Amino acid sequence: MPDETDPISDDELLYRRIPDSMHWYDPGSNLTPSPEAFRPKVRDKTGLSLFRANFVTPEKLAQNDRNARFYVAILCERELRELGLEIIPKPNPTGPPGHCEIPELRYENRRETRSEEFQVALATMLCVEILGPLPTS
Amino acid sequence: MRDAVATLSPEIKAAVSTSGDKSTPVTAERLEDNWRERWNECIDSTLIEWGRNPDQFADPDEGFRAPTTMCIQAAIRVALRLRDLKEPPPPPSRVVPDGEGGLVFERIAGDTHESLRVYADCAGELLTFKHCELKSRLILRLT
């Protein structure tokens, strides 16, 4: 039985939620998502939030009672690690299972060069696929 | 063997493509007009509309703040200024809120990514990335 605190293996897939309301991704255009979708926001104090595919489905991740629609970007742990990003498990008992974080991408350092470059790389190079917008319930 | 190679002709290819490109303006002037028109669309369809209802981007549950009125007004001034240049720059590929009270004009061309950021306090910044590497960061005065 896998545990949420288990280290993340190279072949694991990871999910990143992208809110539809912010226009950061438009499947009708031929553009990759905006780097804003990977820019730490005020709540990302300890790292950018991702979720492990071994513990949650994209559909479950998109569910909410606010009727807010989400896309879910799929990323591969190996590709993030090869870029130099570390991903650590950080289970959150009040949120969806499989929560993990990229500690290097935090709100406080979001304007630093390295962080800005990672944001662009995540958006333009590292999304394996983007699903959605997914049903909210 | 050398002779054999020398006598083999390469595959015949069309020297000149005859398919017409009707979408690309034929003169620089027309290209600039086209860009001005797209800057207009950006101002009218996006920024002015956002100004009418900025709260569509506020989401306290996600911690997102809507672009401030001041920021949207500054962004409109920037867009107008760029549109009215004698040689206007290409229009943005998209404009997005940054979730922190500001917004970003983004332009993507091949492996180049440009972000013209207008922060909530109307500070401005132009970042140019090539192959995801930050090549330049220019602080802009937008007031």
Residue A36, chain B, CB below 8 Å: the answer is yes
* B18 found inside a domain: no
Residue B109 placed within a domain: yes
Q: Classify residue B99: in a domain, yes or no.
A: yes
Nearest CA in chain A to B104: A36
The complex scores an ipTM of: 0.94
Show the domain range for B98.
Answer: 27-140
Q: Would residue B88 count as lying in a domain?
A: yes
Counting residues of chain A whose pLDDT is more than 90, the rounded percentage is 97
CA distance from start to end of chain B = 73
Position B6 in a domain = no
> What is the mean pLDDT of the segment spanning A31-53?
97
Residue B42 within a domain:
yes
Q: Chain A window 110-129: which residues touch B at a Cβ cutoff of 8 Å? A: 113, 116-117, 120-121, 124-125
Q: Can you tell me the distance from the alpha carbon of A8 to that of A6, in angstroms, rounded to the nearest whole number?
A: 6
Contact B113 A124 (CB under 8 A): yes
pLDDT digits 0-9 by tens, B63-100 = 999 999 999 999 999 999 999 999 999 999 999 999 99
B102 in any annotated domain: yes
φ, ψ of residue A71 in degrees (nearest 5): -95, 160
Indicate yes or no: CB of A31 within 8 angstroms of CB of B137.
no
pLDDT (tens digit per residue) in A78-104: 999 999 999 999 999 999 999 999 999
Q: Cβ–Cβ contacts within 10 Å for residue A13, how many?
A: 17
Give the mean pLDDT per block of 10 residues along chain B (143 residues).
Answer: 42 56 68 94 97 96 95 97 95 98 97 97 97 97 82
Give CA–CA dist A122/A79, Å, rounded.
Answer: 10
The number of folded domains in chain B is 1
- In this structure, is residue B8 part of a structural domain? no
